[in-house]
Structure formats: C-alpha cells, structure tokens
A and B are shown apart, each in its own frame.
Chain A
C-alpha cells in the first residue's frame, strides 16, 4: 500500500500555506488565492482517483454488480 500519497498531500498543504504567507507579505493577494485554488485542485485529483479505487474495491468485495 503506498503511503507516499499521504505525505505528498501533506507536503502540498504545507508548501501552499507557506507560499500564501509569502505572497501576502509581497502584497499579491490574488496570486495567493489562485495558488490556494490550484493546490486544492491538485490534491482533489489525487483523492478522487483513490476514491474510485475504494468504490471499485467495495463493489468487488461486496459483490455489488
């Protein structure tokens, strides 16, 4: 089971929060908003793949066709 997805998401989260504070210092609020959105979208794509894996696994194990 690959645990690196968890650390990838945590890394992205920490990176985004740091970059946001930097961008706020630099006065570029809208870039900070864009960055937050981009981060959420990337992490969402990863989690959606895992979610589809979960639902196929449930479907096979519980024999729901």
Chain B
C-alpha cells in the first residue's frame, strides 16, 4: 500500500517545516517544496501506467494521437501551474501565485485552439 509512506512523509515534513518556520522561513519553504517534489516523483510510475493505458485505448479506437497528446500536455501544464502557484501561496506571495495560474490558463487556451477549430469544422460539415 503506497499511501502510508506518502502520508507519513507528509506529516514528518510538516513537523520539520513548523520547526523551521519561525526563524528560517525560506528554508521551511524549500523543505515543503522538496516534499512536494518527492511525493510527485513517488507517483510517477503509476501515472505513467495510466497514460500508457490511455494511449493504447486511443490507438485501438484509431483516434488521432494529436488530441491525446494535447490533452496530456494540458494536464501537465495544469499540474505544474497549480504546483508553482501553491508553493508561492505558501510563502505568502498570492499575487505571484495568481500570475502563475494566469499563465497556465493562457497556455491551456493556446493549446485548445486547434481542437476548437476541428470541432467547428466538423459541426459545419454536419449542417445541411
């Protein structure tokens, strides 16, 4: 059961961060950043298997792989933007966090544009 070490790691790091926060806030932030990265790296293999399954399903449904890759890219951008924004908010800089999230949204919109065009074309073809 992989969840127990992750929860334990989170609790241990929270205690250490509290210990460090009152006189060394920057090191406390770096410690929480390290914990976040480590927990994500622990989950990497599971995420990889899920995405491989998605790839096979898309290939079997002979769906164009471009769309799946765009969706994966959007998920990655959303995750990294949320990760950065939360770290900034932890440090008390919610303005910078908001800017990171804004950048993430714009990039996702930018990636969604080709798909919107394809949908528009297919809808126009349906009309008599």
Contacts and interface: CB of A to CB of B under 8 A. Distances in A.
B interface majority secondary structure: helix
Contacts of A23: none
A52 B27 CA distance: 19
Interface stretch (B39-47, B91-99, B114-122): B39-47
Contacts of A14: 19-20
A44 interface: yes
Contacts of B48: 61
A10 B20 contact: yes
Interface string B38-81: 10111010011001000000000000000001001101100110
Contact of B34 (A16, A39, A50, A62): A50
Contacts of A53: 37, 41
A21 B23 CA distance: 10
Contacts of A39: 24, 27
B13 to A, nearest CB: 6
Contacts of B31: 6, 9-10, 13
B75 A1 contact: no
B16 interface: yes
Nearest to A43: B30
B34 A63 contact: no
A22 interface: no
A44 B26 CA distance: 10
Interface of A: 1, 3, 5-7, 9-10, 12-14, 16-17, 20, 36, 39-40, 43-44, 46-47, 50-51, 53-55, 57-58, 61-64
The 9 nearest A-B residue pairs measured at CB: A62-B76, A13-B27, A10-B16, A13-B20, A17-B23, A54-B37, A62-B72, A13-B24, A61-B48
